Chain A
Amino acid sequence: MSSTSTHAEVTAADTAGRWPVLLLLASGLGWLVISGIFALIASIQLHSPTFMSACEWFTHGRVGALAETSFVYGWAANAGLGIALWVLGRLGGATLRAQNWAMTGTLFWNLGITLGLGGIATGEATSFAFLELPRYVQPLLVVAYIAIGISGILAWSGRRTEGTYASHWYAVAALFLFPWLLIAAQTMLLWSPVRGVLQPIIDGWYVQSVFSLWLAPLALAGAYYVVPKITGQALPSYEFAPLAFWTLLFVGTMTGGRHLIGGPVPAWIPTLANAACWMVLFHFIVVALNLRGALTGGGTSLTFISFGLLAYFAGAVLDAVTSFRGVALVTQFTYFTTAQQQLALYGGISMLLLGSIYFAVPRLTGRPWNSGSFVRGHRVLAMVGIFLLVGSLAVAGWIQGTELSNAKTTFGEIAGRTRPWLLAVTVAQGFLLVGNILILVNFLRSVSDVWCAGAVSQVGAFRQPTTMEVHAS
């Protein structure tokens, strides 16, 4: 039976390398809940400005920065790295190497995030979007990230097969590119700041690159692995996957200038970004074509990935449409841009990552998730929450944008007219927070089963996978 053991879905190679991945996923889910609490407070303050305003630490500017930072660097970074390491390990066909590096790096990364959030709360935040973490923790983050990344790079360079797969490209690109992004941005904005109007240009580039060159590739690395694993079908239009990858890398980061439409920058910078917004649609279309098998499949992972895929695609189309200056005239600098960001980061990246997490954790623990009803509850709450969050923010932003151009409307009236939609945003943040608590508790219970009861795995629950065949298309 040696041939079947090599084809078993859960092998000793998986369980031997599980702790770095589980630590990353646990940190990510923990930060997701914490960032949800901050986001809930921030959303309440939008319609009830006096809420917690007596406490300096929880004034709106700081809570907003805390929510954003803990979401991007706490949740998305940890979860994305966990999934990337796991996928690279699985595809490498061997136990994850340099596990101590990854574990130590994860601890220091999260130490840095904790210190940085404390710094933001006490008023030491920088003034740059996505780069609010105080200057003094940023070098630590670079070093910690590289330590985690080494494990993934070793799994990639030491892989058993010569060829590479789409998940390899996206994961390795994210591992290599993020240190460069962070070093470049913090050098030019914090250590040796460039002057004047160059600062928002560089920050716009950084914000977009965090999405296009780091979080999106991490999420896609997981999705490109999980979808064909579950459907058992080779990806359709896979011949275009390399082109989609390079389009994202080269063109995706050029779309950063769209954050500056209407700002005091030379006209060619937003224009280049708008053209890039349309060019990069090629990436999104090919990804949607490649992964469209997820839409037909059932099960937890594919439900999350389908939702994430649709949101990822819708977010790109929305970015392209609002990049036209006529549309941006209304939407720019309103809640609408927040809606776009939440659609991309929460609807797209997070749902893709959650789909991969639902697939990965049973293979790491060697047993199914602890509670099925928690999984169902999270699924419903996450989907309803994101629909409500993005929809309400978009409507509020559209009202805000059209009324701001009307000289006869006062700010008070605008606040009054957007208030019902902002209340809906708070409800949505509540749904999302409860859903995220469900997956955190479910995750901790699943892991503690293994941690405390020893490695009593239920390998029998895993169906034996078969060989994938390439169909002539």
Chain B
Amino acid sequence: MSTPLHQDPRLDQAASTDESLLAAHDKLLGKQPDEKGSYKLPPLHLLFFFSGLIFFAGTYLNRYSGMFDPRVYNENTLPPRGEIVVAKLDPLVLGKKQYEAICITCHQANGLGLPGAFPPLAGSEWVAGSDDRLIRLVVYGMTGPMTVKGVLYNGAQMPTIGKVANSQYNLSDDKVAAVLTYIRHEWGNTGAPITTDQVAAVRSKEGDRKPYIEAELLKLN
């Protein structure tokens, strides 16, 4: 059969047996030295090429991976470095926000409260008076009758605002300080600002306790 049989499209002839195919390739992979006792070197150009690919891929990965930071969505930028700087909020802005979320329900936007039900903040001697007293009043709340600007308020109860046990609002110290600074600044009030440290000091001194009554607060200066 000298005619090239692969011209018949219906049948491709095999040139080698399965056994010899396996044996020949096994020998190529085998680590035995050949007859001359020398090992066969793999083609160097392929090794060079493979190294080149590794180098390129490594460089690319280093350049565009954003240091594998999950926050980086643009491959040309790096993750934010150094300490994370939190913008300092103006306590009046923060305080106004807290006031409008919580206090405004009773004390009203004009700070005058509701006559006969809720005491005013505008021009109140409690707001302008002792820092310690004001902080305690807001952080722990207050029950029982209370006199503001010469008027007795009997039915209202000041809720517990600060981050203490049984608090209704759990406001952090800086938010309490901000809202106190805010009410001392609005409606013609002119008190000094309250700092976060002052609130924290009161909280660490008193710990968890029940709301105050008027007599307890008046003992403080």
Contact = CB atoms under 8 A, between A and B. Distances in A.
The answer to whether A and B come from one shared complex is yes
A358 interface: yes
A15 B188 CA distance: 104
A37 B70 CA distance: 44
B5 interface: yes
B88 interface: no
Contacts of A371: 10
Contacts of A240: 42-43, 46
B20 interface: yes
Contact of A298 (B6, B24, B53, B75): B6
A416 interface: no
B72 A268 contact: yes
Contacts of B71: 266
B192 interface: no
Contacts, number: 181
Contact of A271 (B18, B49, B65): B65
Contact of B14 (A165, A230, A235, A298): A230
B72 A267 contact: yes
A84 B69 CA distance: 42
A398 to B, nearest CB: 23
A302 B1 CA distance: 21
Interface string B194-205: 000000000000
Contact of B53 (A165, A231, A266, A281): A281
A166 B12 contact: no
A382 B54 CA distance: 37
B21 to A, nearest CB: 5
A368 B12 CA distance: 9
Contacts of A472: 34
A465 B17 contact: yes
B15 A230 contact: yes
A9 B11 CA distance: 12
B24 A469 contact: yes
A463 interface: yes
A298 B11 CA distance: 12
Interface of A: 7, 9, 90-91, 93, 161, 163, 165-166, 225, 228-232, 234-235, 237-243, 264-268, 270-272, 274-276, 278-279, 281-282, 285-286, 289, 297-302, 325, 358-359, 362, 368-372, 375-376, 379, 461-463, 465-470, 472
Interface of B: 1, 4-29, 34, 40, 42-43, 46, 49-50, 53-54, 56-58, 60-61, 64-66, 68-75
21 contacts: A161-B26, A225-B21, A228-B16, A228-B25, A229-B16, A230-B12, A266-B70, A267-B72, A267-B74, A272-B65, A275-B58, A279-B57, A282-B50, A298-B4, A300-B12, A368-B11, A372-B9, A463-B1, A465-B13, A467-B16, A468-B20
